[in-house]
């Protein structure tokens, strides 16, 4: 198995696993569903909210799901030359982000290139940003003209790649 699994565990009478995870392939027999997918782009040196944004949410899922409209994305605003994410949801969310245009695939910029089809992007090419409710996110250095792909799952599922999907 390739990739890394991220989990927060609490031990009481049994073990409860909370949070979001990531790995290459799910264990057989797990149910899966499409992730929330946000495609956002800034062009013409625009700052603030994206010039173009498309949100897609799964029709079927399990657990609690943060609506895509609750995720604030800004670029080059507030005096910072980069991308900012704010989790306005009531649950923790782990965001998986890659770039389709703009910042070249250089780890020093904090974003790596998505595969030609973003759903085929390997797990090691995502910037992974876990955020608690109401928390302003991680600033990522980025160019003003930028196109990104953001994926995430419900609170009871993990993100898997090849292709990108949620399972649990």
Residue 50: inside a domain, yes or no?
Answer: yes
Residue 24: inside a domain, yes or no?
Answer: no
| Percentage of the chain lying above the pLDDT 70 cut | 76
Residue 11: inside a domain, yes or no?
Answer: no
Here the tokens at position 49 are 């909210």
Residue 19: inside a domain, yes or no?
Answer: no
- Please give the residue range of the domain that contains residue 121: 32-154
pLDDT of 156 > 80? The answer is yes
CA distance 164 to 119: 5
In angstroms, the Cα distances linking 16 to 13, 41, 57, 136, 168 are 9, 38, 26, 27, 13
Pairing outcome for strands 36-42 and 146-152: antiparallel
Residue 18: inside a domain, yes or no?
Answer: no
- Residue 138's pLDDT is 62
Residue 113: inside a domain, yes or no?
Answer: yes
Number of domains the chain is built from: 1
Tens digit of each residue's pLDDT (9 = 90 or more) over 123-148: 999 999 999 998 877 677 777 788 89
Residue 131: inside a domain, yes or no?
Answer: yes
Residue 17: inside a domain, yes or no?
Answer: no
């Amino acid at each position: 198995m390739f990739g890394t699994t991220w989990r927060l565990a609490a031990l009481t009478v049994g073990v409860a696993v909370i949070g979001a995870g990531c790995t290459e392939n799910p264990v057989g027999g797990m149910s899966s569903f499409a992730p929330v997918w946000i495609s956002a782009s800034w062009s013409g040196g625009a700052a603030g909210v994206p010039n173009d944004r498309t949100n897609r949410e799964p029709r079927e899922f399990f657990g609690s799901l943060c609506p895509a409209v609750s995720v604030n994305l800004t670029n080059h605003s507030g005096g910072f030359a980069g991308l900012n994410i704010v989790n306005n949801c009531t649950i923790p969310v782990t965001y998986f982000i890659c770039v389709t245009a703009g910042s070249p695939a250089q780890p020093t910029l904090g974003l790596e290139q998505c595969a030609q089809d973003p759903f085929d992007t390997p797990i090691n090419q995502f910037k992974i940003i876990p955020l608690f409710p109401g928390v302003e996110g991680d600033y990522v250095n980025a160019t003003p003209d930028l196109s990104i792909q953001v994926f995430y799952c419900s609170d009871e599922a993990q993100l898997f790649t090849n292709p990108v999907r949620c399972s649990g």
